[in-house]
Amino acid sequence: MPFDAGSAQRLVWPPRATRARIATKNGGRGIMRIVLMGAPGSGKGTQAKKLVADFGYPQISTGDLLRDAVARGTEFGLRAKSAMDNGQLVTDDIVLGIIRERLAEPDAAGGFILDGFPRNLAQAQALESLLAEMGTPLDAAVLMDVEFEILFKRLTGRRTCGSCGKVFNVHLMPPKEDGVCDGCGAADLVQRSDDKEETISKRLEVYQRETEPLIDHYKNAGKLKVVDADGDVEDVYGRLKEATGLAGS
Ligand code: AMP
């Protein structure tokens, strides 16, 4: 079914109780709606998790939502799987269906961090319609900026613990013991099926073609913030907080 922002549920957004709870949790910073953009491997997911831990905004990752749908064998998941395995974008109707459902959940009422969405202009425009309908415009679109060679290393080396989800990099941040998770001790470090070299090249190509045009889109809308995302995770996090006005919180 094509995305239809007009049919999006009208919500009282956000409920007063949620607004108060979030404001307390994040030191009075209030509601923050951010798009976190960047090529695969730019560290969006890692940085989003840090914002979640410190400020309580939910991280909404379409990649995670899609992987979950694939694992559960839902209709969306079955339709998304082959595009994901091939490093291609999943069709907009699937992604927009998933994102619309997710944004309607109560925890998104106090703000959110969109990670990996939107990935093309059509998705960005659909997001704008949906948020306009809800009366909740974006605060910022943050570009996590990293050179291509570094991205490649980050992606080919990435391993995730199958038990606790901790992320390692065999080139840049290896576990203390080869193949064993430092966090939970499980010998279950796995490479995502779309982190294989040939799929990575395709994903980077798709990013350049489909997603990079969003940089100008958000620049023209006056929402773009660029963060140098190379280097130590904590340094990058400091720059991200600075760019989004969360520094010092
Ligand atoms: P990610 O974890 O964000 O790198 O996403 C993994 C894969 O999920 C991508 O390579 C795409 O196949 C699919 N995907 C995630 N987000 C989107 C999106 N916004 N639009 C289309 N496909 C997506």
Confidence grade of residue 80 (pLDDT, cut at 50, 70, 90): very high
Q: Whose CA is nearest to atom 12 of ligand 1?
A: 84
Q: For the segment 109-161, what is each residue's pLDDT rounded down to a tens digit?
A: 889 999 999 999 999 999 999 999 888 899 999 999 999 888 988 889 989 99
Q: What percent of the chain has pLDDT over 70?
A: 87
- Whether the CB of 40 sits within 6 Å of ligand 1: yes
Q: For the segment 26-51, what is each residue's pLDDT rounded down to a tens digit?
A: 445 566 899 999 999 899 988 999 99
CA dihedral 150, 56, 185, 158 (to 10 degrees): -20
Ligand 1 mutation target, pool 47, 94, 103, 119, most atoms within 8 A of CB: 119
**Residues annotated as catalytic (active site), given as ranges:** 44, 119, 158, 192, 203
Dist. CA 90 → ligand 1 center (Å): 7
Report the alpha-carbon distance of residue 112 to residue 48 in Å, rounded: 10
Sign of the alpha-carbon torsion through 215, 154, 167, 27: negative
pLDDT at 61: 93
Which atom of ligand 1 is the closest one to the Cα of 87?
Answer: 10
